[in-house]
Amino acid sequence: MSRTVQAAAILSLLAGAAAAEGWDHGARNTPHLAPARADQTRAPKTEDGVVLTARTLARGLDTPWAVAVLPDGGYLVTERGGTLRVVGADGRVGEPVAGVPDVLAEGQGGLLDVALAPDFAESRRIWLSYAKPLGGGLSATAAAYATLGADNRLTGLTEVFVQDPPSPTAAHYGSRVVPDGDHVFITTGEHFTPRERQFAQDPAKSYGKVIRLNADGTVPSDNPFAGQGGVAAQVWSLGHRNLQGAALAPDGVLWTLEHGPRGGDELNRIAPGRNYGWPVVSYGENYNGSPIGEGLAHRDGMEEPVYFWDPVIAPGGFAFYDGAMLPDWQGDILAASLNPGGLVRLTLAEGRVTGEARYFTGAARFRDIAIDRDGAILAVTDSPEGELLRITPD
């Protein structure tokens, strides 16, 4: 049975419930890289008097990476070591779901995202993304769909995407999977190394890309590079670093969150065929302080982020709020933060960020966000003793 905890009790780091917090942005890592627009970073702090309280629904989860809400009650949660679990509405954690794919649970790899098909109530189809082991120390981001039976067993596992080429580096896999009716979006990372990051600019390699497939795994004929065939035909957008957040906006357009280097985390509104710049341009710098590429933030033909953070928030998953519990938050972005941790809220108007608020900063590494059936906010915490939290207005 779940019990209410104040934010401090989560990791004994905060006291009391969380109102929108005043925070010090801190010094930018790249102050010489001026934003293209004034509203592109460091938005005004949003303070609306809403106080949030976290309730621990389930604990003892092994480094949970994603949460999806089941329509008939309960939740699906991935554990990065390779386990999918059903968590009941009462917080009871079920035995591992049988039939999940083999994963490489090394570095940043493992069983990563889980999402429900839009027709899940009828089809019982779910989607998974994961680090696929390919032998010889190689791995790749992969995605598959399967049917979740009433006995909590997966059947008909069908792998539809494997990143190409495979990588020797167990880092920067992405990877979110976003079903959208007849199509599915899959995000990939570029595996971090100076050599591999260059592949984000190559349409023939599925590194640092948003991939768009038909729901059966075939390639849509209207993809922007469909005429090139091969890997390029799968590509929806390119020039990304490590896309660990992706969600459909209320108007049906895909938005993404990606990890920058030191500085330069990005929120992007994705348009087909567009180049989002990595590693040619960035608002961040390498971890050793050296510039990214030529040290530029802008270049003709490369898209500007809607918003960026410097210093970073290290974003995980996010959701556009849609629920009755917080009606004034409708359409706001609620994002997980790994560093400094907690929940980040962005208010939007006409596709631009108008305000930012933060909650539970420093309490825990939030890895994913979802919206419960009644409008409560769900979060999973990135820890070997991770938790599924239910967050509601006080």
Number of neighbours of residue 310 by Cβ within 10 angstroms: 25
**Which 8-state DSSP code applies to residue 23?**
-
Q: How confident is the model at residue 1 (pLDDT cuts 50, 70, 90)?
A: very low
Average pLDDT of the chain is 94
By C-alpha distance, which of 247, 201, 256, 231 is closest to 141? 231
Contact in structure between 332 and 321 (CB atoms under 8 Å): yes
Residue 181 in any domain: the answer is: yes
From 172, 191, 240, 259, active-site residue: 172
CATH assignment at residue 136:
2.120.10.30
**pLDDT tens-place string over residues 254-283:** 999 999 999 999 999 999 999 999 999 999
171-186: burial string, b at 16+ Cβ within 10 Å, e else: bbbbbbbbbeeebbbb
Least confident of 8-12, 116-120, 241-245: 8-12
> In the structure encoding, which two tokens stand for residue 71, read together?
């329509």
Question: Do residues 1 and 56 make contact, with C-beta atoms less than 8 angstroms apart?
Answer: no
Q: Are 236 and 270 in contact (CB under 8 A)?
A: yes
pLDDT classification of 17: cutoffs 50, 70, 90: low
Report how many domains make up the chain.
1
Lowest model confidence (mean pLDDT) among 22-36, 105-119, 157-171, 263-277:
22-36
Q: Both tokens of residue 88?
A: 């009941």
pLDDT above 90 (res 4): no
Evaluate if residue 16 carries a pLDDT over 80: no
What pLDDT does residue 189 have?
Answer: 98
The verdict on residue 237 lying in a domain is yes
Q: What is the pTM of this model?
A: 0.95
Residue with tokens 């696929």: 132
Question: What's the rounded mean pLDDT across residues 302-330?
Answer: 98
Is 183 among the residues known to form the active site?
no
* pLDDT beyond 90 at 12: no
In a domain, 388, yes or no: no
- Contact between 120 and 71 (Cβ < 8 Å): yes
Mean pLDDT of all residues in 122-136: 97
Residue 380 vs residues 123, 280, 312, 327, 373: alpha-carbon distances, Å: 26, 33, 20, 23, 16
Q: Confidence band (pLDDT; 50, 70, 90) for 349?
A: very high
Instruction: Report cis status (omega within 30 of 0) of the bond before 250.
Output: no
**Full residue range of the structural domain in which residue 273 is found:** 59-340
In this predicted structure, what is the pLDDT of residue 22? 63
Is 391 among the domain residues?
A: no
Residue 308, CA distances (Å) to 6, 35, 47, 229 in order: 30, 9, 20, 33
pLDDT of residue 18: 72
The values of phi and psi at residue 294, to 5°, are: -90, 10
H or E element at residue 159? strand 154-162
For residue 190, pLDDT over 50 is answered with: yes
Q: Establish if 6 belongs to a structural domain.
A: no
